[in-house]
Structure 1
Amino acid sequence: MADAEVLLEVDGGVAVVTLNAPDRRNALTPAMASELIGVLDRVDAQPEVGALVLRAVGRSFCAGGDVATLTNAGKDPAAPENYDGMGRIYDSFYRLGQVKVPTIAAVRGSAVGAGMNMLLAADLRIVADDARLLAGFLKRGLHPGGGHFVILSRLIGREAAAAMALFGEEINGTRAVELGLAWESVDEAAVEDRAIELARRVAADPELARVAVGNFRREVVNGAVSWEVATQFERPAQMWSMRRSAQA
């Protein structure tokens, strides 16, 4: 649909999901969050998809929660429509973190607040050299939400997470790579092509991609496990892949 705020294209086993609300810098509303969740459900339902790239139209990747949404929620946070609306925004980036295929955030422009949560929910990040990455919650007079402390610190550690989330430090793409927040920073014009290039590699075998990323998240992302436990996660999956290869 031309007026959709979240777009989906599938090409060569790669699902490209596009945030398409440039007039408000892709700031998330409950309606947009619901659209995103629906698109991610569609991706999971297509077994031929082996990777996902999340990108955005316009000069911002995502400016966080929509100002009007936050203002209305602040008037009566306990009102069911406000509570549920904010929950949908939280659910949208949490849902991205649960997609059944490996995910890459292709980040150009700025990412603030919930926009940071969105890129942190992906398995990998390719960012523009001049990207502007900012937690920004306290600057708005808000406590961080959506598990921000956890998903930020698991990538960059306690010290850097404190600098960004508590003390308002803003970083660019180059610094993001130095801190371990992103895999690579490139010229803005090359961000999406580089992300899709990486996605195509793993998407070449979508069945294996789905099994591998499930164990990757269990072992690494959702709280590190011991080496012993990791071997138990990996053994059945590896044996399955060996048998599959032998039968091919």
Structure 2
Amino acid sequence: MSEFGIYGDLHVSLENHVATAEIRRPPNNFFDLELIDGLVSAFGDLDDDENCRAIVLCAEGKNFCAGAQFHNDGSRGGEITAKNSDGSNRHLYDAAFDLFSCKTPVVAAVQGAAVGGGLGVACFADFRIAAPEARFTANFARLGFHHGFGLTVTLPSLVGQQKALELLYTGARIKGAQAAEIGLVDKLVPLAELRSAANDFASEIAASAPLAVESIRQTMRGHLPQAIKAATDHEKEEQDRLRGTEDWKEGVTAMNERRVPNFSRK
């Protein structure tokens, strides 16, 4: 497999019209603006390469993406804002809009935890192939927080409104088999076969006429970037508001101390 490029902690290769984009931040593969911008840059370059017709998104180590890393004081382990060349601010959700604007079909291979924003990254993909050991959770409410990364749009589109509400309200953790039952996962395969199964799935896409696939994808998903923009604008407002609450501080502290949070509605 020939190397296509390295984008920070994202390593990309391309062979037989299928690219493999591997996140290399093991074991948890926490995400931040730098990582999502790496995905945007890589996928943009792959969009421009006529040899690429599908992408496998995977991660090194035991987890797919455990979301953002939070410290006891509620601060993140990675930056979610940066300065553009013109001096304006670039937020994580600006990168999310750009990511959803990419044109090449993406198959996510989920081997372990896809938590919080990591679930959002998994739901960005056109398809999800997972192992039974995979774990999916939208644990935001258990942290005293609002969900993000466009899950307002993507989660109910995959599992339906009621199941999405259940997952968001309760923060329930579901494994690969249950995720497949509710439509969150498209195909369940043994862990040892995960990468090859995802590559085979992507190869089936790559075998179709690329202009036709691009046209169909635009018809089916062309509305997503603007829908994600509207959703993340609201998600960010609510996240900023809730980040100032005592419940948020308690939720993060309880998570790091591995105990049940004691929320006070403050």
TM range, normalised to the smaller chain? 0.7 to 0.9
Decide whether aligned partners of structure 1 residues 80 and 10 sit closer, same or farther in structure 2, where only a CA change above 3 A counts: closer
Task: Indicate the SS of the match to 1:52.
Answer: strand
- Which residue does the alignment assign to 1:123? 126
> C-alpha offsets along residues 106-140 of structure 1, whole Å, 9 cap, x if unaligned?
11100001100001011111111121100111222
After TM superposition, the structure 1 stretch with the greater mean CA deviation from structure 2, 49-58 or 205-214, is 205-214
In the alignment, structure 1 residue 17 sits paired with structure 2 residue 21 = yes
CA contact (8 A) 1:93 1:117 kept: no
Decide whether aligned partners of structure 1 residues 145 and 219 sit closer, same or farther in structure 2, where only a CA change above 3 A counts: closer
Of Structure 1 and Structure 2, the greater helix share is in 1
Q: What percentage of aligned pairs have identical amino acids?
A: 29
Q: Which amino acid aligns with 2:62?
A: R
Task: Indicate the SS of the match to 1:171.
Answer: strand
Q: Which amino acid aligns with 1:209?
A: V
Distance 2:196 2:151 in 1: 28
- Which residue does the alignment assign to 2:157? 154
Task: Indicate the SS of the match to 1:67.
Answer: coil
In the alignment, structure 1 residue 210 sits paired with structure 2 residue 218 = no
Task: Indicate the SS of the match to 2:35.
Answer: helix
When normalised by structure 1's length, the TM-score is: 0.77
Q: 1:48 aligns with which of 44, 51, 65?
A: 51
Shift of 1:222: 8.3
CA contact (8 A) 1:43 1:49 kept: yes
Shift of 1:194: 0.8
> C-alpha offsets along residues 210-230 of structure 1, whole Å, 9 cap, x if unaligned?
22222222489988xxxxxxx
* Paired positions, count: 215
Distance 2:128 2:137 in 1: 15
- Which residue does the alignment assign to 1:235? none
- Which residue does the alignment assign to 1:58? 61
Decide whether aligned partners of structure 1 residues 93 and 221 sit closer, same or farther in structure 2, where only a CA change above 3 A counts: closer
In the alignment, structure 1 residue 101 sits paired with structure 2 residue 104 = yes
* Correspondences of 1:72-221 after superposition (within 5 Å): 72=75, 84=89, 87-88=91-92, 90-204=93-207, 205-218=209-222
Task: Indicate the SS of the match to 1:182.
Answer: coil
Give RMSD over aligned pairs.
2.9
CA contact (8 A) 2:100 2:224 kept: no
Query: Which runs of 5 or more residues in structure 2 are unaligned?
Result: 228-266
CA contact (8 A) 1:49 1:206 kept: no
Distance 1:32 1:4 in 2: 7
Shift of 1:92: 4.1
Distance 1:56 1:114 in 2: 15
CA contact (8 A) 1:94 1:121 kept: no
Shift of 1:71: 3.8
Query: Which runs of 5 or more residues in structure 1 are unaligned?
Result: 224-248
